Amino acid sequence: MMNFCNRCAGALSEEVPEGDNRPRHVCQECEHIQYQNPRVIVGCIPLWEGKILLCKRNIEPKFGLWTLPAGFLELGETMAEGALRETYEESMAKVEIVEHFGMYDITRVGQIYSIYLAKMLSADFSPTPESSEVGLFDPEDIPWDELAFEVIKTTLKEFIERG
């Protein structure tokens, strides 16, 4: 819930603006409409010799659970650039994108995931402030019960099914 305008700090009310079809937060001072849109998450399925690189989260949410390297897209970068950056930030792995793997809508939390298939350029990787551990997993050794997010579990299952 938003309380104040991001332009003038005026009070907001929830109303359906003229010409719109759904309630929005509207500033009572400057009449600016505060749109709330989904956040874009970008990441990779990094591969090295048939193994998948996973990161154990060292930050909330889901501290201590495994995930693919992924995070919020920044302004001024393409989704592919963001996926490369996030992979490096979370694993210190340098990768090259092979292809776009999939998009996933997580409407209950207002997120859109865009995941790329990537090949690691070397077997060099390490923990970072965002990841307490980083490791390569054969598909049969993925810690399914310790994955941080359902979307990551879905992505990994689809990857394995596609072969």
Tens of pLDDT, residue by residue over 93-113, are: 999 999 999 999 999 999 999
The pLDDT mean for the chain works out to 96
- pLDDT tens for 41-73 read 999 999 999 999 999 999 999 999 999 999 999
Average pLDDT, integer, range 116-135 = 98
Domains of the chain: 1-36 (2.20.70.10), 39-162 (3.90.79.10)
The 3-class secondary structure across the chain, one letter per residue, is CCCECCCCCCEEEEECCCCCCCCEEEECCCCCEECCCCEEEEEEEEEECCEEEEEEECCCCCCCCEECCEEECCCCCCHHHHHHHHHHHHHCCCEEEEEEEEEEEEHHHCEEEEEEEEEECCCCCCCECCEEEEEEECHHHCCHHHECCHHHHHHHHHHHHHC
pLDDT at position 17 over 80: yes
